[in-house]
Structure 1
Amino acid sequence: MSAPTEGIVAESGERDSAALERWRDRKRYLWLLSLIPSAATFIAWGLVSATGWGGFWWAGIVIVFVLIPLIDVLLGDDGQNPPDEFIEELENDKFYRWCTYLYIPLQYAGLLAAVYLWASGTLSVVESLGLATTVGVTAGIGINTAHELGHKKEENERWLSRIVLAQTFYGHFFIEHNRGHHVRVATPEDPASSRFGESFYRFWPRTVRGSLTSAWEIEKARFGRLGTSHWTLKNDVLNAWLMSVALFGSILIGLQALSFAGLLDGYSIWNVLPYLVVQAVFGFTLLEAVNYLEHYGLRRKTLPSGRYERCTPEHSWNSDRICTNVLLYHLQRHSDHHANPTRRYQTLRSMEGAPQLPAGYATMIVVALVPPLWRKIMDKRVLAHYNGDITQANIDPSKREKVLAKFAESAPATKV
């Protein structure tokens, strides 16, 4: 009686093995599309040159906040997780690494092209601002590239991460994110975790200030443990900022030299400096908009020991829309990222138990910019996530009484 069963099991195992052998990453060559944001300046320049219409200098905003959400709707969810048997193979495939490495030269080529256009004085103020936001889109999504590289163990990738961050003067993100956010995620102490009832406009100054302060305190504590002063270029916050100073200083000195040589008639530092600031602020604002929606209202429980429970899939908002997955290196599979921070983007998986956003990250950023719409869409999802007990959420302290009064009727009767 056992022989036929063994035969069926063997046949089934052979089919499973054959299926695994045939498995391929269907997004393998789609990952090259992740380079589109790095070329946003050249896309805008090409459209302006082809049509003569200066409105195309704002192309970066259209790409991120109009085209990507539309494509997300049309293409729907990704739905493909790599089998465990292929994780190691995918991790070691250098093709995926080059998809991130190539972002960097394109990002900086776009910045230099924009600097030339600003310095030439041929653009109007509105056109220059549009170009600054387009460059900021490249820089902001570049921070996500830096995020991918900065989590890796290879020192060269960690340095590439710092280089990417120099454009937005946000090099301290490398410290705070890895050694701060990943420790305190989904707790009231984390400046990068948004709170229930907190609008993006309240979150932005708190997270910008808090992230900078956190990074500085982390480095200060590190040097304190070593018994040395943190006022040293070995301080990763200081050397990151120095890279930005060197970058912007080199650009301005180079432009001044070209002006003296007669190659930039009418050049003024004020043709360039304001827009360098705009692109940097726009870039790190794009990062913080993503931070805002990744952990909104989610909170880890406090254990009897006073420590927080371990971060689990339920502490990050996820989405699996395929277009944004490709352009953001699977950042939307955020629960797996927190569970496995050093895992490379191509192997991140959608995880059971992870709360899901109703749309992709790009779409939800637009929603977050309209607080009443955000609250209408997201507050009920946070409430449902905690089975009606809003006291379990990470609530904005300034809104706590109002929130509890509003949602008290939804709380389970057994809760105090």
Structure 2
Amino acid sequence: MDTPSGQPLNATAKTRHLLWCLLPQVLIVLFWTGWQAGGLWLALPSVFLMVIVPGLDWLTGWQDDQGFEKAQFSGWELSLLHWNVRLYALFYMVAVVWSVASLERFSPLELGLLLAACSLMAGIGFGAGHELLHGKELPDQVMQRLLTSFLFYPHYKLIHIRSHHVHAGTDEDENTAWMNETLYAYLFRTIPGSAVRCWQMEMRRVNSLYGQGLPALLRNRMLGYVLGQIAILASMAALGGIKGFAFFLLHLIGAHVILESVNYIQHYGLLRKMSDGQYEKTGPEHSWDTYHFFSSYITFRVGHHSNHHIAVRPYYLLYTQPEAPKLPVGYFWAIALVMIPPWWRHVAHPRLGPQEAA
């Protein structure tokens, strides 16, 4: 069996791929190492993600460009790959809860480092959540409900599958960034817009099944999500007091900025054309990809976004798409680019086709 580029695969390549897929667990180890040691050691996760990972991408020039098929993996290997995501989600949530319950032991500097670490881990957690919401097995669905609620994005599956995968690359998608739209304008559009879209979709669903009125409202999943989030906030306040409550909220703000920055990048300026009232089929040219090796594996290969839209494969089976526009850096440095809109446009627009960049 060959890769998409026609290069033959071997057992060594598969084993190497399998081991690199476990890279997110290194972040968990670094977090707990820093948590136990205290002081500047708490910066380990942040330095790893923001300096070491992109630095290794730059130094090696390696690309995550091999593709695999499910039949190449044994049953235990597939189980390991699935539990890799589930365990990251679980370890992340435990780390945040443990931190909220232990804030009194840390100095102000340590709290800042801990907050940065938890926010970055939560950003990777959204990558795990994205993988889990596409999973078919019961453990995936249970874990994605827990994780997305904990991340204060319980409607992630709803907006992602029923809206984004249908409307990606169009003006009807709240998660597609328009040409010349800044990250900051996008944030104020996509966050409330996604919530409103989910309420509307849920109201249509329950009204069609149960009619209008209170019985239908009580079956609206968005209402349950709101109540669940209130319960989580109350739990954080009970566990860590005002300081724990604030820490949890601040780490969520950081996590959502990371998530929405990635969402902003993934389809920026790549709108599908319309003909005779119909949008063209989603293709690789409608998503930004990045195959920078270490950044790819630490994020559950979320940079293979074009293939995800085309094939909806698990993270370990995603292929490269030569036709997709490519980011010059991995996501961690790309997020820094979009924070400064003129810099982002300077980098991104030349990589777009002449029609898109016009």
Deviation at residue 180 of structure 1 after TM alignment: 1.0
2:299 to 328, 333, 338: 328
* Candidates 245, 251, 256, aligned match of 1:279: 251
Partner of 1:28: 18
Of 331, 338, 348 in structure 2, the residue corresponding to residue 368 of structure 1 is 338
Cα 1:316–1:270 shift into 2, 3 Å: same
Q: TM-score, normalised by structure 1?
A: 0.77
**In structure 2, how many angstroms separate the alpha carbons of the residues matched to 1:199 and 1:45?**
36
CA-CA distance at 1:89 after TM superposition: 3.9
Output aligned runs, 1:375-414, within 5 Å: 375-382=345-352, 385=353, 388-390=354-356, 407=358
Contact 2:236 2:248 in 1 (8 A): no
Cα gap change, 1:40/1:191 in structure 2, threshold over 3 Å: closer, same or farther? farther
Deviations 1:16-62 (A, max 9, x none): xxx556464222112221123345542432452xxxx4x55454433
Unaligned runs of 5+ in 1: 1-12, 14-18, 256-268, 394-406, 408-416
* Paired residues of 1:91 and 1:346 also in contact (CA < 8 A): no
Matching of residues 72-87 of structure 1 within 5 Å: 72-83=57-68, 86-87=69-70
Say if 2:198 is the partner of 1:212.
Answer: no
Match of residue 348 from structure 1: 318
Partners of 1:40 and 1:138 within 8 A in 2: no
TM-score using structure 2 length: 0.88
State how far apart, in whole Å, the 2-side matches of 1:32 and 1:21 are: 19
Deviation at 1:331, TM superposition (A): 0.7
Question: What is the CA–CA distance in structure 2 between the aligned matches of 1:79 and 1:272, rounded to whole Å?
Answer: 39
Contact 1:197 1:375 in 2 (8 A): yes
Decide whether aligned partners of structure 1 residues 124 and 358 sit closer, same or farther in structure 2, where only a CA change above 3 A counts. same
Residue aligned with 1:88, SS: helix
Q: Distance in 2 between matches of 1:371 and 1:59?
A: 29
1:146, 1:164 within 8 Å by CA — same for their partners in 2? yes
Determine the C-alpha separation between the residues in 2 that align with 1:381 and 1:64: 25
Query: Which of 97, 100, 113 is equivalent to 1:115?
Result: 100
Q: Is the 8 A contact 1:219 1:230 kept in 2?
A: no
SS at match of 2:321: coil
Cα–Cα, structure 1 residues 79 and 35, in superposed 2: closer, same or farther, change >3 Å?
closer
- Stretches of structure 2 that go unaligned for 5 or more consecutive residues are 3-7
Q: Aligned partners of 1:78, 1:270: CA distance in 2, in Å?
A: 45
Q: CA RMSD for the aligned pairs? A: 2.3
Secondary structure at the aligned position of 1:249 is classed as: helix
Q: CA deviation at 1:139?
A: 1.6
Question: Could you tell me which residue of structure 1 aligns to residue 164 of structure 2?
Answer: 181
Number of residue equivalences: 346
Per the alignment, do residues 41 and 115 of structure 1 end up closer, same or farther by CA in structure 2, a change over 3 Å counting? farther
Residue type matched to 1:275 in 2? Answer: F
Equivalent of 2:266 in 290, 294, 305: 294
Query: 2: distance between equivalents of 1:218 and 1:40?
Result: 41
